């Protein structure tokens, strides 16, 4: 009886060890990326004389990596101002600026690492907040208006990383942020982001 128990314990231990060896696990990582964001449809409108639909953006994030090809991470992104100006019926000449804050949770799935390179796709959800500031020149004087809007949307994209050392790698991303904004009030826009930055494993 003791011999059977011993053999059973050895068998269970060998299975556990083999599975542990097969699963490559990193306790965590964090990174900072900086890049350029392009806001689709921001410049569409009546009699817009000047528009800048691109902005600098930065994202701070952290997560955990499992079995070499699946990651789960959380991030915060800041989107600098995009702006537009032109003639608005009933108001005269007006200008508007918008900046954004994004909090996301993302799942990454990729190819098994080939040497120092890794390529992956990602999908997740995000909470966004847009801050608006507008001014208008009217016959009664200058008007100034500010407001903010919030919502939840989906995000997806692609990325690649290159391991410089055991605990440091460089990562490049394309992020596609879908349907950001209020469809009924300010309108929805998709945002394309291209970014690069360092990533640290710990």
Domain residue limits, the chain: 25-201
Global pTM value: 0.79
* pLDDT tier for residue 2 given thresholds of 50, 70 and 90: very low
The three-class DSSP label of residue 91 is: coil
The three-class DSSP label of residue 51 is: strand
- Tokens describing residue 137: 């020149």
Query: Over the stretch 8-49, which tens digit does the pLDDT of each residue have?
Result: 443 433 443 344 444 455 679 999 999 999 998 777 755 667
Q: Is 196 a residue whose pLDDT tops 80?
A: yes
Which residues, at least 6 apart from 9, have a Cβ–Cβ distance to it below 8 Å?
none
Q: The domain 25-201 is classified under which CATH number: 2.40.50.100, 2.40.160.20, 3.60.20.10, 3.40.50.300?
A: 2.40.160.20
The three-class DSSP label of residue 157 is: strand
Q: Is 94 a residue whose pLDDT tops 90?
A: no
Backbone φ and ψ for 17, nearest 5 degrees, come out as: -65, -45
Q: What is the pLDDT of residue 182?
A: 82
Report the distance separating Cα 197 and Cα 202, nearest Å: 17
Q: What is the pLDDT of residue 184?
A: 72
| Mean pLDDT of the 157-177 span | 95
Q: Is 188 a residue whose pLDDT tops 60?
A: yes
Count of beta carbons in the 10 Å neighbourhood of residue 169 = 19
Residue showing tokens 């019926």: 89
Q: What is the pLDDT of residue 9?
A: 40
Q: CA-based Rg of the chain, rounded to a whole angstrom?
A: 24
């Amino acid at each position: 009886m003791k011999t059977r128990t011993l053999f059973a314990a050895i068998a269970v231990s060998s299975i556990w060890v083999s599975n542990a060896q097969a699963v490559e696990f990193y306790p965590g990582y964090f990174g900072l990326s900086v890049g350029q964001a392009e806001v689709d449809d921001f410049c569409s409108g009546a009699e817009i004389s000047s528009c800048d639909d691109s902005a600098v953006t930065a994202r701070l994030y952290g997560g955990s990596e499992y079995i070499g090809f699946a990651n789960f991470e959380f991030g915060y992104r800041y989107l600098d101002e995009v702006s537009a100006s032109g003639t608005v019926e009933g108001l005269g000449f007006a200008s508007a600026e918008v900046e954004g804050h994004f909090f996301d949770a993302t799942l990454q799935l990729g190819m098994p690492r080939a040497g120092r390179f890794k390529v992956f796709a990602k999908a997740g959800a995000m909470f966004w907040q847009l801050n608006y500031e507008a001014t208008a020149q009217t016959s009664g004087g200058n008007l100034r208006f500010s407001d903010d809007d919030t919502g939840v949307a989906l995000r997806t994209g692609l990325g690649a990383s290159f391991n410089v050392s055991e605990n440091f790698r460089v990562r490049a991303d394309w992020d596609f942020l879908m349907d950001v904004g209020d469809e009924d009030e300010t309108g929805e826009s998709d945002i394309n982001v291209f970014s690069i930055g360092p990533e640290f494993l710990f």
